[in-house]
């Protein structure tokens, strides 16, 4: 089925916008949940819950973090399950900020090296860092 995103309409009238309230969360598979929590919490993400979930392959470790109304799910598959960092799918998580210079200074103080940037494109300044498993986090400051 061919879809058009012009004005939020779909060619065949299958507009899901009215049925979807919001994005519930973004999920990242991580290789070490404890290490990932130690990375995300200093960035300001607040842990909402952490739990273990049994599965036929073993225990899945899960944590939900929140920042500014957005929810991030981090999950670690059972021990012995091969971890393969995704090669497609979500490319990055972008966080809107007011003061990119202050963010850059705080990241440096936390010991988080920049992966890219700061870069300015189309009235947006941004920089990127990588999480423990190579996931990319982008910090955006819109020039007003």
pLDDT digits over 79-92, tens only? 888 777 665 567 78
Angle at Cα 132 formed by Cα 58 and Cα 27, nearest 5°?
60
Residue 64: give its domain's CATH number.
Answer: 3.10.180.10
Q: What is residue 88's predicted lDDT score, i.e. its pLDDT?
A: 58
pTM, rounded to two decimals? 0.71
Q: Identify each DSSP E strand in 8-143 by its residue range.
A: 26-29, 46-55, 58-67, 70-76, 92-96, 116-121, 124-130, 136-142
Specify if 99 maps to a domain: yes
Q: What six digits make up the tokens of 19? A: 């049925």
Domain final position from 63, 84, 105: 84
Please write the tens of the pLDDT for every residue from 31-80.
899 999 999 999 999 999 999 999 888 999 999 999 999 999 999 999 88
Please provide the average confidence, as pLDDT, over all residues in the chain: 84
CB 8 within 8 A of CB 16: no
> What domain range includes position 105?
85-144
Split into its structural domains, the chain has a count of 2
Domain boundary among 84, 109, 131: 84
Under DSSP, is residue 15 helix (H, G, I), strand (E, B) or coil? coil
In whole angstroms, give the CA distance from residue 53 to residue 68: 27
Tell which of 48, 63, 84 closes a domain.
Answer: 84
């Amino acid at each position: 089925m061919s879809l058009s995103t012009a004005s939020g309409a779909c060619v065949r009238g299958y507009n899901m916008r009215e049925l979807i309230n919001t994005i519930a969360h973004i999920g990242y598979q991580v290789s070490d949940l404890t290490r990932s929590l130690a990375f995300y919490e200093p960035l300001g993400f607040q842990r909402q819950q952490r739990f273990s979930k049994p599965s036929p392959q073993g225990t899945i470790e899960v944590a939900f973090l929140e920042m500014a109304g957005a929810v991030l799910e981090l999950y670690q598959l059972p021990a012995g399950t091969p971890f393969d960092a995704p090669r497609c799918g979500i490319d990055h998580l972008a966080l809107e900020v007011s003061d990119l210079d202050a963010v850059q200074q705080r990241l440096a103080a936390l010991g988080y090296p920049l992966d890219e940037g700061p870069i300015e494109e189309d009235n947006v300044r941004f920089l990127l860092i990588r999480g423990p498993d190579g996931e990319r986090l982008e910090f955006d400051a819109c020039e007003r």
